[in-house]
Amino acid sequence: MSRPSSRLVVISNRVAVPKARGAAGAQGGLAGALNAALRDRGGLWFGWSGQESEDRTGNINVQRGGGVTTATIDLSTRDVDEYYNGYANSTLWPLFHYRIDLAEFENETGRGYERVNERFAESVMPLIEEDDLVWVHDYHLIPIGDRLRELGAKNRIGFFLHTPWPPTRLLTSLPFHERLVRTMLSYNLIGFQTEEWLSSFVHYCETELGAEVEKESGRITHEGRTTTARAYPIGIDWDHFQEQGDSGEARQATQRLLSSTRHRTGMIGVDRLDYSKGLPERIDGIGRFFDQHPERVRDLVFIQIAPPSREDVESYQKIRAELEQKTGQINGARSEVDLVPIRYVNQGYSHAELYGFFRGAKIGLVTPLRDGMNLVAKEYVAAQDPNDPGVLILSDFAGAAHQLGCGGNGALLVNPHSPDALARAIETALDMPLGERKSRYEAMIETVRDDNVQAWTKTFCSDLATG
Ligand code: G6P
């Protein structure tokens, strides 16, 4: 049995390498969370450098910085096309976000996905020591645990999925779905963000694989192999985020936002530019609010920070064009010489600046159509002034809704597909009295503070180490 003090080896596609740590909104929740996990616990973080090169010498680039050691490899242009842009982000990502209409099913990219997983496994294997705990992350690398076993790894190996897990009938539309899921039985522990995604996975194992499931313990047995699957909701890096909030940079960001919005209520959204985030639907909801309350156009300014993401994938190019068109339409119809209702910003910002913007904005709008967890929702709450907190409007389809809904007393939960529901929630948030804002904030803050990324890492790693 591994000791809890074993070294941690984290494997993920995206690695926040010291010299290239991106803007917080642009890099997604995974990189920030793993950076925190490794900074606190120490260990090694292995993955893709983010660079393309035809170098086949197997060179591994090791860097140390901010208490984290990273080891990365480059991928060839073909690998990036087939594995990252292809199977991971044009097949698994849309499918896992219930967007079968956007999913492409090409055997070619499937082979590329397996090839790159093989390559990652061969590159990281010599870096893994006997007692290491190995923790693999996300949909890019589902089969890597199985490849590591084939190469002789006897370590405890865990897997965590940051996205939703789709219902069985959706997943079965994926050619070779069984082949993919079977590889997961090589892991000792599999983590999901919520009970909802966990139960879809368990359902698949029971009905498609005919596995035996012990519901209480989460143990799943099939063809002589046993794995354990449980929910481990991820949290934010609370202490680090509060430190950022104490900085001059954060205070300046709040001032910048307040002085530019003046007497109007600032409403903010921060999302990678991804179709799962429900951005055009959000703009429709705001348009509906303005249509229903033209007299309130002067009360509100909406700031949407949306750093572009996965720009080589066609569905991402389309969503960007759609968003630009919708934003332009509303601004064209509703702007005046001294008033622009929607500020649409493509750049990313640091954590300190985001904290400052969140604090200055009295409404946070987090309305994905489907999201594994969504840490922006938690960060918005974390950045609020307890004496005058803002209101979080949150999609019922984000994993975070399970923790922040608080039985109707926390975030305002909405159906992100309905422009009317969004418009109503905006009106409720704008008119909400201070007493109610405080009590909703108080209902949410405990889980945001206590169920943080450190608690997440500790629980997962200790379950992985002890079995
Ligand atoms: C989501 C995924 C992560 C990914 C992040 C940013 O959060 O779950 O695995 O790293 O998006 O996307 P990118 O494609 O830039 O890594």
Task: Supply the pLDDT for residue 6.
Answer: 87
Spatial distance between the Cα atoms of 287 and 275, rounded to a whole number of angstroms: 19
pLDDT under 50: residue ranges of the chain: 1-4
Catalytic pick among 146, 274, 371, 451: 371
Same fold, 8-235+453-466 and 238-450: yes
Residues with CB under 6 A from ligand 1: 14, 28-31, 138, 162-163, 309-310
Beta-ladder partners of 392: 364
Task: Supply the pLDDT for residue 274.
Answer: 98
Expressed in angstroms and rounded, the spacing between residue 30 Cα and the centre of ligand 1 is 6
- For ligand 1, atom 6: residue with the closest CA: 28
Expressed in angstroms and rounded, the spacing between residue 280 Cα and the centre of ligand 1 is 20
Q: What atom in ligand 1 is closest to the CA of residue 12?
A: 9
- For ligand 1, atom 14: residue with the closest CA: 310
Chain position carrying tokens 């997962």: 460
- For ligand 1, atom 12: residue with the closest CA: 28
Task: Supply the pLDDT for residue 26.
Answer: 73
Task: Supply the pLDDT for residue 3.
Answer: 42
Q: Is 162 a catalytic residue?
A: yes
Task: Supply the pLDDT for residue 1.
Answer: 43
Catalytic pick among 162, 274, 284, 351: 162
Is the ipTM higher than 0.90? The answer is: yes
- For ligand 1, atom 10: residue with the closest CA: 14
Expressed in angstroms and rounded, the spacing between residue 235 Cα and the centre of ligand 1 is 16
Task: Supply the pLDDT for residue 41.
Answer: 86
| Fold designation for 238-450 | Rossmann fold (3.40.50)
Expressed in angstroms and rounded, the spacing between residue 112 Cα and the centre of ligand 1 is 19
Q: What atom in ligand 1 is closest to the CA of residue 137?
A: 9
Task: Supply the pLDDT for residue 217.
Answer: 95
Expressed in angstroms and rounded, the spacing between residue 191 Cα and the centre of ligand 1 is 17
Expressed in angstroms and rounded, the spacing between residue 337 Cα and the centre of ligand 1 is 39
Pocket test for ligand 1, best of 14, 72, 313, 374 (most atoms within 8 A of CB): 14
Pocket test for ligand 1, best of 15, 272, 375 (most atoms within 8 A of CB): 272
- Name the residue ranges covered by the structural domains of the chain: 8-235+453-466, 238-450
| Three-state SS letters, the chain | CCCCCCCEEEEEEECCCHHHCCCHHHHHHHHHHHHHHHHHHCCEEEEEEEEECCCCCCCCEEEEECCEEEEEEEECHHHHHHHHHHHHHHHHHHHHCCCHHHCCCCHHHHHHHHHHHHHHHHHHHHHCCCCCEEEEECHHHCCHHHHHHHCCCCCEEEEECCCCCCCHHHHCCCCCHHHHHHHHHHCCEEEECCHHHHHHHHHHHHHCCCCEEECCCCEEEECCEEEEEEECCCCCCHHHHHHHHCCHHHHHHHHHHHHHHCCCEEEEEECCCCHHHCHHHHHHHHHHHHHHCHHHHHHEEEEEECCCCCCCCHHHHHHHHHHHHHHHHHHHHHCECCECCEEEECCCCCHHHHHHHHHHCCEEEECCCCECCCHHHHHHHHCCCCCCCCEEEEECCECCHHHHCHHHCCCEEECCCCHHHHHHHHHHHHHCCHHHHHHHHHHHHHHHHHCCHHHHHHHHHHHHHHC
Task: Supply the pLDDT for residue 57.
Answer: 80
At the second CATH level, the architecture of 8-235+453-466 is 3-Layer(aba) Sandwich (3.40)
Beta-ladder partners of 136: 11, 159
Q: Is 417 a catalytic residue?
A: no
